Copies of this chain bind each other. A is one copy, B any other.
Amino acid sequence: MQICTPDWVKHAAFYQIFPDRFARSTKPQALARSRTLDFERANYESWTAGPTLQGYKGGNLWGVLNQLDYIQDLGCNALYLTPIFQSASNHRYHTHDYYQVDPILGGNEALLALLEAAHRRNMHVVLDGVFNHASRGFYYFNDILENGPHSPWVEWFRIEGWPLSAYDGSLPANYVGWNDNRSLPVFNHGHPDVREYIMRVGEYWIEQGIDGWRLDVAGEIEAPGFWQEFRDRVKALNSEAYIVGEVWEDSRQWLDGTQFDAVMNYLFCASTIAFVAGDRVQMDLVKLPPYEPYPALDAAGYAAKIEDLLALYPWEIQLAQFNLLDSHDTARLLTIAGGDRASVLLGTLLLITFPGAPCIYYGDEVALPGAFDPDSRRCFPPEAEWDRDLLDAHKRLLTLRRGHPALQTGNYRVISAQGMLYVFARSLDAEELTVVVNAGLEEASATIQAGALRSQPTRVLYGSARLAATDGNLSIRVPARSGCILG
């Protein structure tokens, strides 16, 4: 079969937003009389204080809407929002109502306004769909808590006995919770009404104008044909809708063209961190998630990992992969690397020049630090705290990617991998760009044999390097802990 992924993703750069923490604003004056309330008097935590596991900062979609200039100026043209549906949790992975945007975020009204504003800017918006489990307050599960075996919905979840104990951990829960967490009752995806319910949620928001779904713990839904049907129904409404699964490991079973367009590329993430941060990786910060940004890799090790990864899935999938260095589910790279800025700069260079869509986790671009949740979900800092050099590097790299189709859909060839110096080329039609990363502590040089590149690069488009051509070979010398793009 012909595998087909959305074209726009191949040219996209995502900005991942954790909505409670990115920005907060009141709704536009024109909507002051609308039904959606601004809850300005709610019991929010201070924006500038560190986040807690259970507190809310009160960020909202009106805030996101007001920051579209910033995001666009950064160089991103797509948003991935972690969950926004009504939820009794600050991360909103405990869905309370799949048809309502959380009132704190501004409700459905705010999402529709955001979609309109984003589309006007030719930006795309992808939402997070949490379809493996719901929450204790979710109507269909809550009814079981309230009515026990009398509930009409007893078959919607995985009930194992009576009574249920949803809140008292000293008694058996008697139902299946995700990760044994009783706050996250797992759907019975084998029930036809559950399946249809989820399918219609998937369709509904596509009809409302979202551009795709990031599917939470997608690999855990194993009902036969589930994701095939989801894809078919979503694509029937918008053939360019993007479907990206949260699968951390080898995802070949999901990336056969009938299910997801892509996965969250933690395989890229892990290898890249292992190369650019190496022994700096704080092991206590990378032990929980199923990705392994260790042991430290040299250039050859990294090349092998990348070549394996690029061989794993069809090229049409690779071009639509959702590439990242960190997320709300990990510590931030800056913190993983023990505060080493160069690791972030090198990782970002590799991210933005890799096939597939790069995603910047909000705040990474200004050096917001963060260990595990809740620390990786700090509020976006005020301008005075920004690392402007890092921000500028992000902008230059995203500008280069945008201006050079080869960085988007060009093929990827490892050119050289010696010591800590890694060189690869991206080429498309007549265009070829060469990317060089020296992850070592010493200045390093590579000699590229004549013919290894289609043409001799002459310009340093990003970073600093000394180029010297001898007998048709090219010598590239780059400072320690730095990288460059040549064209």
Contacts and interface: CB of A to CB of B under 8 A. Distances in A.
Interface of A: 35, 37, 39, 41-45, 52, 54-56, 58, 86, 88-90, 94, 96-97, 99-100, 103-104, 135-139, 142-143, 145-148, 150-155, 165-168, 183, 191-193, 196-197, 200, 203-204
B56 A150 contact: yes
A469 B94 CA distance: 79
Contact of A41 (B39, B94, B96, B193): B193
Contacts of A155: 41, 43
Contacts of A54: 146-148, 150-151
Q: How many copies does the complex hold?
A: 2
A147 B193 contact: no
25 contacts: A37-B196, A39-B152, A39-B193, A42-B193, A43-B153, A43-B154, A44-B152, A45-B150, A52-B150, A54-B148, A54-B150, A56-B150, A56-B151, A58-B152, A88-B139, A88-B145, A88-B147, A88-B151, A89-B147, A99-B100, A135-B146, A136-B146, A137-B138, A137-B139, A167-B168
Nearest to A36: B200
Given A35-B200, A35-B204, A193-B42, A167 B148 contact: no
Q: Tell me whether chain A's interface is mostly helix, strand or loop, or mixed.
A: loop
Contact of A94 (B97, B100, B146): B146
A52 B152 CA distance: 13
A137 B147 contact: no
Nearest to A168: B168
A377 to B, nearest CB: 14
A258 to B, nearest CB: 24
Given A139-B103, A146-B136, A193-B37, A43 B152 contact: yes
Contact of A96 (B58, B88, B139): B139
A189 to B, nearest CB: 15
A162 to B, nearest CB: 13
Given A54-B148, A88-B139, A137-B138, 4 more contacts: A37-B193, A42-B193, A88-B151, A99-B100
A203 B35 CA distance: 9
Contacts of A196: 37
Contact of A137 (B44, B89, B142, B203): B142
Nearest to A107: B99
